[in-house]
């Protein structure tokens, strides 16, 4: 079963945790790129409230030594897919999430302006779960159906739009497995 997107560009029937780290797109109809990321907090650890806290500006710098380095970051993604396949949405798809940073795709800079960012709870080197691939495929099919400028050819990893700066989703991400069952 695919997801549904309502008129406010939120997914129905998923957890919503609105992030303050987003803003309006210059052109809401210019959604033409899907960027896959990974994140784990603390690095290499899964579960817990830390990703949600980071994306909402509530990460306690004393919660873990690594958090002292990142607690002031102003970052977000449109969605997070947990290890068990749960999808959490932080930013409506018609708004700009702050996930790509300095980036370029097909000669166009500032990918946040025209992309949707999906974070997978994971690392570059540990395999992603079947539940994550299933949820990501279902979410991708829903996005492809809703936003006409998206296509299979316009799905990429953070590592490819910010080479040398980012490495996610990494070698552990199986692109062929993910794209099985997606339509153009």
Return the bridge partners of 104, or none.
Answer: 109
The tokens for 163 are 């080479």
Rounded to the nearest angstrom, the gap between the alpha carbon of residue 25 and the centroid of all alpha carbons in its chain is 17
Whether 119 is catalytic: yes
The secondary structure of residue 80, as a DSSP letter, is E
Q: What angle do CA 31, 107, 78 make, to 5 degrees?
A: 30
Segments in the chain forming alpha helices (H): 50-56, 67-70, 130-146, 158-161, 175-179
Considering 52, 119, 121, 159, which one is annotated as catalytic?
Answer: 119
- Angstrom distance (rounded) from CA 74 to CA 19: 10
- Angstrom distance (rounded) from CA 69 to CA 43: 12
Residue 99 and residue 168 in contact, taking contact as beta carbons nearer than 8 Å: no
The tokens for 36 are 């896959």
- Angstrom distance (rounded) from CA 150 to CA 132: 21
The residues carrying an active-site annotation are 119
């Amino acid at each position: 079963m695919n997801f549904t997107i309502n008129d406010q560009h939120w997914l129905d029937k998923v957890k919503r945790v609105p992030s303050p780290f987003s803003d309006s797109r210059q052109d809401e109809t210019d959604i033409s790129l899907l960027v896959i990321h990974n994140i784990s907090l603390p690095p290499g650890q899964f579960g817990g409230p830390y990703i949600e806290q980071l994306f909402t500006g509530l990460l306690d710098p004393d919660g873990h030594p690594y958090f002292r380095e990142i607690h002031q970051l102003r970052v977000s993604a449109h969605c997070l897919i947990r290890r068990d396949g749960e999808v959490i949405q932080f930013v409506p798809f018609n708004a700009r999430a702050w996930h790509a940073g300095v980036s370029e795709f097909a000669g166009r800079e500032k990918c946040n302006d025209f992309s949707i960012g999906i974070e997978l709870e994971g690392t570059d080197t540990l395999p992603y779960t079947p539940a994550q691939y299933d949820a990501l495929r279902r979410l991708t099919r829903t996005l492809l159906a809703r936003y006409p400028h998206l296509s299979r050819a316009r799905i990429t990893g953070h590592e490819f739009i910010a080479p040398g700066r980012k490495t996610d989703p990494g070698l552990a991400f199986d692109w062929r497995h993910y794209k099985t069952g997606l339509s153009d």
